[in-house]
Amino acid sequence: MKNTKLQAFIPLFYIVWSDSLLTEKGFFTLHEFIDSQDWLSAEEKEFLFSKITIANPPSRQDITDWRNKIEEIIQNRPEIKSVFEVVVALSGDDEIIQGLEIAFVKLENDLGILGEEAISNFKSKAQSHTVNSHTEASFDVNKITAILDGAQAPIINKVKSVISRPEFQYETSTDIGVYRQKVLDWCKILADENLGNMAYPKKYGGGENIADYFSIMETLSYHDLSLVIKFGVQFGLWGMSVQSLGTEKHYVKYLKDIGALKLPGCFAMTETHHGSNVKGLETTATYNHENQTFVIHTPHEKAQKEYIGNAALHGQMATVFAKLIIAGQDHGVNAFVVPLRDENGVVLKGITIGDCGHKMGLNGVDNGTIRFDNVVIPKENMLDRFASVNDKGEFESPIPSDNRRFFTMLGTLVGGRIGIPRSALAAAKSGLAIAIKYSDQRKQFGPENGEEVPILNYRMHQRRLLIPLAKTYAIHFALQYLTKRFINKTEAEMQEIEALAAGLKSYSTWNTTATLQECREACGGKGYLSENRIDALKNDTEIYTTFEGDNTVLMQLVAKNRLAEFRKAFGEMGSLGIINYVYENAKSAIAEKNPVVIRKTDDEHLLDSQFHLQAFQHREKTILASAAKRIKKLVDSGLDAYDAFNVVQHQMIDVAEAYLDSVVLEQFQIAIEAVKDEKSKAILTKLNQLFALSQIEINKAWYLEDGYMEAVKTKAIRKMVNQLCWDIRPDAVALVDAFAIPDSCLAAPIVVGEK
Amino acid sequence: MKNTKLQAFIPLFYIVWSDSLLTEKGFFTLHEFIDSQDWLSAEEKEFLFSKITIANPPSRQDITDWRNKIEEIIQNRPEIKSVFEVVVALSGDDEIIQGLEIAFVKLENDLGILGEEAISNFKSKAQSHTVNSHTEASFDVNKITAILDGAQAPIINKVKSVISRPEFQYETSTDIGVYRQKVLDWCKILADENLGNMAYPKKYGGGENIADYFSIMETLSYHDLSLVIKFGVQFGLWGMSVQSLGTEKHYVKYLKDIGALKLPGCFAMTETHHGSNVKGLETTATYNHENQTFVIHTPHEKAQKEYIGNAALHGQMATVFAKLIIAGQDHGVNAFVVPLRDENGVVLKGITIGDCGHKMGLNGVDNGTIRFDNVVIPKENMLDRFASVNDKGEFESPIPSDNRRFFTMLGTLVGGRIGIPRSALAAAKSGLAIAIKYSDQRKQFGPENGEEVPILNYRMHQRRLLIPLAKTYAIHFALQYLTKRFINKTEAEMQEIEALAAGLKSYSTWNTTATLQECREACGGKGYLSENRIDALKNDTEIYTTFEGDNTVLMQLVAKNRLAEFRKAFGEMGSLGIINYVYENAKSAIAEKNPVVIRKTDDEHLLDSQFHLQAFQHREKTILASAAKRIKKLVDSGLDAYDAFNVVQHQMIDVAEAYLDSVVLEQFQIAIEAVKDEKSKAILTKLNQLFALSQIEINKAWYLEDGYMEAVKTKAIRKMVNQLCWDIRPDAVALVDAFAIPDSCLAAPIVVGEK
């Protein structure tokens, strides 16, 4: 092509021959376009036609030459962003060509060329060399740590300093007796440091600081998780049940000793036959007005209390949940303080303790069973904040419905559903720190005759670790938000916050299970050795998805809460309400769903936080409306609500997930908005983009079914996820360093050196 | 509607008002249709119009009446399959209406009504009552067991009877010393029963029956998995390395003692710094022609052998993989028999043993590290089937390239990649048996004021357990197929079989990890107690995804093998080859991709095995071509192959998965074809449908992106997966009973009663 202006066609030729599958139609379109350009002579047209004859493809050399020319232009003019700009440049800035922008862009569209992508392929070439990628932080690690810790930094640092002391060296004995004792000893140290009573009122010796309490739980979780659970059972479940369900007389009597670990206790709710369905508990508390006592009794073996932490060995008392019976009438489940052992640890008469024995994890916690054989307790042992027996021996409660009273009681215990997801978060961070640091050092395979390469340079390895890293960062901010909402809650917000806590408990703990699974596999055989701690992290947190509420059950609660909100907003869940909602949602989605947007794949759009949030929220709203519609249809067809909810159970989980995804994304975005340091902001923004796009990728079938995106866009998102992983990789080690986990806690020889 | 023929419109009114989201266009279409029917009078038209006025919706009672009428018709005439048949019936079989089939069907299509689905919604109503579902086998359990066991039934029964003996009671000590000794004792019993030497030639005391050997591995896996791995290390890895890599002189000397467990040994391949990349091993075997010896040496700490089973305590010898050096020249990795301990277990001079210590699982296996400090062994200790040192001290091999020779050696060891996935399969079966039986008994929640319901009746629970059950059955038959291919292999098939084994090893072990995760969560707190065995199953198999080849690395091997086959079939991987392939594939997909089929959602089609297989194969071929195209493009753009493969690593995993999905589905289908008993065939067919559709559901984003299915179809598939789960639920317990796992092995108190 000696004629310079003809070089304008090079990018089209190159793309049509190399970039995508050849279709006859594409060649025909290009042929027609050339034919219609009256500024070309007949010979010039013939020459151009000769380059796009399917029967006579260009040589390899031709294609290489074209590529080199395009590459040269793009490298010399980094400001170039579109194919047309390359066209103009190659034509030697020919004036005729410059006037043809509209026609060329139309041609690109007709050919289905993704201009920006084609250009960026040229630009990113140099970056795709596997061997060249290495750790190189783009930001100040301490600044990210400061953002993560926020106002809780002082207490976090205090806890870290305590658990870094020599006496907190990990217990390696496989003897559960030894381990349980060690965990109890550790708890005593924490109590002595005034960490256990942090949430209790100052009046009863506490720190009166709930925010600090949750930060203590989270930070302790960098250390042994049996310790965290034992700590949570004692100071959270046992102590907080007294505080939340009891009254002044109980506070005075118990709180100080609980906070000092002088009075170890249990939270005895779950029974063998009733876990998720706590309303069905069968233990009874029968009131005897004659002598003002309650008789606590286990009616049959399967009604025994089970999995109760502190029960097998150390607990001296328990908050026992039991059906209150007065004069033969059942007043529903209430809570009572029941002594289990004397001060010397001798089990009291009428109490039978069993040991849950060896568990998959958390073997430093003495879980046990408790049976009551007509155990008599004084009337004052009823935790009577929400219900009591009056002097006449009658049941009294400010809340008229037994059902509502019980759920109000449970609502006050929602703190556990904040502590657990935050503990899970810390475990995920530990796992990621170990796996990412190891993957940065571990080398395996390499280019032909070249050196071996860190396994973190491999794309699959990046996907497996960096997507969970992004999600873990996202969850961090969501849990900060949940904690703040909880601390500043008003009565009217309670239902929403309970649902949010239930949801984020599931969201965070499932993330931890999945993340630690990837971490284990990513560390290969080293990940299987107990010394590298993924064993303990994985097995200890395994039960997090079950306790404090089975995740699947909780997700249905969340979905039901969303449906209730939906009903509130649109009146009875009749057709019209749903139609209105759907219509409103559709209206707001019109701009997002136009034919250009559903196919839009340029980087700027794909990385745009507004696009992410709109996509998440559209999904959230549409799934919610669709589930509501389906349930209505099923109920209309004659099913009762219970059956209808079962039929759509799978969809209910989607409702909850979509809602939680939205919350997590939004809170991550809001947190980033507030960051002042530019470099910190930049890396957090990248993580947020990776979180958003990888979640969209997971749900891409939904977006395609809904018509919110077309295939060209979902494919571009997949590529962008890969690219973001690649871009974040040099920062990955710094990002886990920012968690600032003490070396003595991380402990894994594969990253902190041999013991 | 007193006028009977007007009742013909009831189904349309009902569907349009209740079934789907109202769109103005739909009402307009229906309005137009009515208007165009010249057999209707003006008054009749007005009456009908009045029923479809958006501003004036029908009452709840109207809709209920319509529904009842439709329901009555469908229940009275079970042969009815289409909406039009309902239309005719409601019109009192009016003759005019009967003549309007084409017009009505066109209308249905214009309205987007899924006729069959609408009908089946009416039919299945009675089945959707959560409380009514319960265990009720539709088939003879023993017949399915016989199909699963096939010709290996006798050896399977023998193994089951051995491991059911009292001396095989599980070890519950957490002391790894005690546990390791117990596992060794068990292995000795198995050796005495002539189970260990089953694969060795009769000439050397063996059973010469490889099929039986694999069945032994699989059946033993119902018992303790440390036992299986110890057994596999001794008789498989150690013994088979001698048999596969050695020659007559080694057989005579070692095989009988190995088979009798008189000579415990190790397979010392992996090093700290080289696991997946075994070509990079650094241990050296330096030949000394003077005294006809090799010097085995560990050049630095990270070149020590690691994770070696039998090394920490019991191994007396090891097959050591080391780079052979002759006169300063490196001849690549070869295998040598090296003594480690004397008969009394005393470690020999020059050998340093380390203990891998406590692991996440398999703590009955004594994994260790081995270092060699210039250990001298006689020349005859080289396992010299594929390479040797001749009398002149020169290297000799029938295979000219070091690289090819090494991979030929590795190829002979592929048996391990059959034993492991089969062991994993058995572990998945055990987990499913425990979780499904428990979920059938465990009750929680229920309808308002009703009894509680078995948790297996909940739809999410069904999805979580029955989809893995279907997949596990599918994998069973695929592994049977793999075993047969391996046993009857020809030289020409070896590469394919190696890839298949690598692939199915990953496929099966990942399935086990995922399945046991679901099982644990499905059993709640009970699943966390060690006594219920999911703990051990899960933690023991956790490393299966890593050893015998890291799954992700193996999947890339599989993908590379597929690409190589692809190149072979279409010549050099040039554009034309790819285009031809894509063209051929597209041609064969034309029938499947026509506008009717991509939207087809009737039950018959969705459950059709031909549809399943075509969908799987289309995906397999298309993904393969797409990966090939992408790699070519990257290489053309200047990347070297190593970098190009890294860029597409994620896609490579897809290539392998799609291939394996196809193989597994096809083999399951072939196996079912051969089943004679009708009831067995029926239930296996249902499992196969569930496997096929649930895999399509997992990959539905791909099918939507590809245009192979439209949203209406992928949504119908999701519903059908739910329906199949529901339909299989009454057979679920029988389906796990058919695994015929001895009660003493299953052991979990939650299903076989308290200990």
A701-733 pLDDT tens trace: 999 999 999 999 999 999 999 999 999 999 999
Nearest neighbour of A714 by CB, restricted to B274, B464, B701: B701
Using a CB–CB cutoff of 8 Å, tell me whether A629 touches chain B: yes
- Please write the tens of the pLDDT for every residue from B614-641: 999 999 999 999 998 888 888 888 888 8
Taking only residues 369 to 428 of chain B, the set having a beta carbon closer than 8 angstroms to any beta carbon of chain A reads none
Average pLDDT of A47-53? 87
| A68-82, A446-460, B518-532, B655-669: least confidently modelled range | A68-82
Q: Provide the CB-side half-sphere exposure for A693 (13 A, CA).
A: 28
Which residue in A359, A443, A707 is closest to B529 by CB distance? Answer: A359
Q: In chain B, which residue's Cα lies nearest the Cα of A636?
A: B64
Q: Do B19 and A444 touch (CB under 8 A)?
A: no
Residue B43 tokens, joined: 């008054």
The answer to whether A360 contacts B18, with C-beta atoms less than 8 Å apart, is: no
In chain A, the residue whose alpha carbon lies closest to the alpha carbon of B368 is A529
Residue in A with minimal Cα distance to B541: A528
Of all residues in chain A, the one with the smallest CA distance to B457 is A646
Residue B709: predicted pLDDT:
96
The closest CB to that of A646, out of B121, B130, B545, belongs to B130
Please name the residue that has the structure tokens 């000439």. B203
Question: Which pLDDT does position B575 carry in this prediction?
Answer: 60
| Chain B, window 552-571: residues with a beta carbon less than 8 angstroms from a chain A beta carbon | 552
Region A161-184: what's the mean pLDDT? 97
**Partner-chain contact A705 B715, CB within 8 Å:** yes
> Minimal CA–CA distance to A325: which of A294, A370, A300?
A294
pLDDT of residue B641: 83
**Beta carbons of B639 and A128 less than 8 Å apart:** yes
Q: CB–CB of A444 and B535 under 8 A?
A: no
Contact at CB, B444 and A277, closer than 8 angstroms: yes
Q: What is the pLDDT of residues A525-544, one digit of tens each?
A: 999 999 999 999 999 999 99
The residue among A36 and A251 whose pLDDT is bigger is A251
Size of interface A-B (CB pairs under 8 A): 255
CB-based contact A18 B636, cutoff 8 Å = yes
Q: CA–CA separation, A660 vs A482, rounded Å? A: 12
Q: Is B649 on the interface with A (CB under 8 A)?
A: yes
List of domains in chain A: 4-128 (no CATH), 265-405 (2.40.110.10), 417-749 (1.20.140.10)
Which residues on B lie below 8 Å from A459 (Cβ)?
Answer: 646-650
Interface touch B649/A459, C-beta < 8 Å? yes
Is the pLDDT at A304 greater than 80? The verdict is: yes
pLDDT at B7: 87
Nearest residue, CB atoms, B458 vs list A576, A646, A714 = A646
Q: Give the closest residue to A138 by CA, choosing from A693, A678, A689.
A: A678
pLDDT of A124: 47
ipTM of the prediction: 0.85
Residues of A within 8 A of B544 (CB-CB) are none
Question: What is the structure's pLDDT at B590?
Answer: 75
* Whether the Cβ atoms of residue A324 and residue A395 lie closer than 8 Å to each other: yes
CB-CB neighbors (< 8 A) of A274 in chain B: 444
For B531, which of A275, A357, A543 is closest by C-beta distance?
A357
Q: Which residues of B touch A21 (CB under 8 A)?
A: 579, 582, 629
User: If pLDDT is split at 50, 70 and 90, which confidence band does A18 have?
Assistant: low
Phi-psi region of A264 (alpha: psi -120 to 50; beta: other; left: phi over 0): beta
- Per-residue model confidence as pLDDT tens digits over A639-692: 888 899 999 999 999 999 999 999 999 999 999 999 999 999 999 999 999 999
A84 to chain B, closest Cα gap in Å? 20
Q: Which chain A residues are within 8 Å of B601, Cβ to Cβ?
A: none
B174 and A358 in contact by Cβ < 8 A?
A: yes
Supply the DSSP string of A418-466, one letter for each residue.
HHHHHHHHHHHHHHHHHHHHHHHH-B---STTS---BGGGSHHHHHHHH
| 63-92 in chain A: CB under 8 A from chain B | 63-64, 67
**pLDDT for res B102:** 86
Query: A714 and B706: CB-CB below 8 Å?
Result: no
Looking at beta carbons, which residues of chain A come within 8 Å of B307? 525
The residue that leads in pLDDT, B564 or A160, is: A160
Q: Which of A217-231, A403-417, A565-579, B118-132 has the lowest mean pLDDT?
A: B118-132
**Cβ of residue B112 closer than 8 Å to a chain A Cβ:** no
B558 touches B501 (CB < 8 A) = no
Taken in order A404, A409, A415, A416, the sign of the CA dihedral is negative
- Given a cut of 80, is residue A449 above it in pLDDT? no
- Percent of chain A surpassing pLDDT 90: 71
Q: A512 and A198 in contact (C-beta within 8 Å)?
A: no
Assign residue A82 a region: left if phi > 0, alpha if psi is -120 to 50, beta otherwise?
A: beta
∠ Cα B363 B368 B372 (to 5°): 170
Instruction: Report whether B313 contacts B180 (CB < 8 A).
Output: yes
Nearest CA in chain A to B71: A637
DSSP per-residue string spanning A335-382? EEEEE-B-TT-PBPTTEEEEE---BSS-TTS--EEEEESSEEEEGGGB
Which positions in chain B touch A534 (Cβ < 8 Å)? 360
- Judged by CB atoms closer than 8 Å, whether chains meet at B19 and A361 is answered as no
Residues 261-280 of A with CB under 8 A from B: 270, 273-277, 280
Contacts of A650 in chain B (CB under 8 A): 459-460, 463, 718, 722
- For residue A371, the cross-strand partners are A352
pLDDT at B1: 54
What integer pLDDT is reported at residue A638 of this predicted model? 79
Interface contact A355, partner B, CB < 8 A? no
Which residues lie across from A294 on neighbouring strands? A287, A377
Contact of B535 with chain A, judged by CB distance below 8 Å, is answered with: yes
Inter-chain CB proximity B649 and A360 less than 8 Å: no
Q: Point out the residues of chain B with pLDDT beneath 50.
A: 19-21, 124-127, 755
Average pLDDT rounded to a whole number, residues A46-72: 80
β pairing state of A317-326 and A265-268: parallel
Give me the helix-helix angle, A24-35 and A42-50, nearest 10°: 160
Residue count of chain B: 755
Using DSSP, state whether B395 is helix, strand or coil: strand
β-pair partners for B159: none
- In this predicted structure, what is the pLDDT of residue B30? 86
For residue B714, what are its two tokens? 């992928």
A21 close contact with B: CB closer than 8 A: yes
Nearest chain A Cα distance for residue B592, angstroms: 19
Residue A278 Cα to chain centre, angstroms = 26
The mean pLDDT of A219-242, rounded to a whole number, is 98
Report pLDDT for A132.
Answer: 85
Task: Say yes or no for a CB contact (<8 Å) between B715 and A707.
Answer: no
The pLDDT tens digits of the residues spanning A363-389 come to: 999 999 999 999 999 999 999 999 999
Residue B61: Cβ within 10 Å count: 8
Establish if B125 touches chain A: CB-CB under 8 angstroms.
Answer: yes
Give the per-residue pLDDT at B289.
97
H/E element, B322: strand B317-326
Q: pLDDT value at position A545?
A: 98
pLDDT at A60: 62
Name the residue among B57, B174, B457 with its Cβ closest to that of A174. Answer: B174
A193: CB partners within 8 A, 6+ apart: A158, A162
Distance between A263 CA and the closest CA of chain B, angstroms: 26
Distances in Å between the alpha carbon of A706 and those of A257, A615, A666, A703, A721? 58, 11, 22, 5, 21
B28 Cα to chain A: minimum distance (Å): 18
Mind telling me how many Å the CA of A18 is from chain B's nearest CA? Answer: 7
A716, closest residue in chain B (CA to CA): B705
